[in-house]
Amino acid sequence: MKNVLKRKLSRLVVISFLLLIAMTSCVLAQSARNGSGSGTDTVTSASMPEPDKSAGENVKGKKMRIRGTVVIYGNEPHTYAGIRAEDGKKVYAIYPVDAERKLRTLQGHSVLFKVILLDKPAGEGSLYLKDGTVRPMSWKIVD
């Protein structure tokens, strides 16, 4: 009787271990897909390089400061982040994609952004929000 219980217990331990490994690999794959590293990265402030005007971006060039929050739009797997101004009336798409991925970690925080207003980037149809597209140059959590 004891041997039967030991075998069942050892099988249960092995199955639990395999499930743990499978869940860990799924979480790591999702984190890599979202560009968030280990899933615990939080970017509190940062700077992005100046836009390369020769790369085909039509830069309106208007520099602005926006105080607002990062909001995720769309449905999985086609989501993208935008900036909702503090007054709730203005909504901007974030471009380029690497900046958008970094800013996803700031959801729920009040953030002060320094941005450059862009024309709509070519080929990025899902990034169009009603008040335009911005390129974040720096940001800082203020709440």
- Write down the domain spans for the chain: 1-41, 45-141
CATH of 45-141, one of 2.40.160, 3.30.1490, 3.30.310, 2.40.50: 2.40.50
Closest to 116 (Cα-Cα) out of 53, 71, 54: 53
CA atoms within 13 A on the CB side of 37: 9
Tell me the pLDDT tens digit for each residue of 56-103.
Answer: 333 468 899 999 999 998 888 888 889 999 988 888 888 888 898 899
Provide the whole-model pTM: 0.57
4-18, 24-38, 127-141: least confidently modelled range: 24-38
CB 68 within 8 A of CB 119: no
Are 135 and 127 spatial neighbours (Cβ–Cβ below 8 Å)? no
Question: What are the residues whose beta carbons fall under 8 Å from the beta carbon of 87, sequence distance 6 or more?
Answer: none
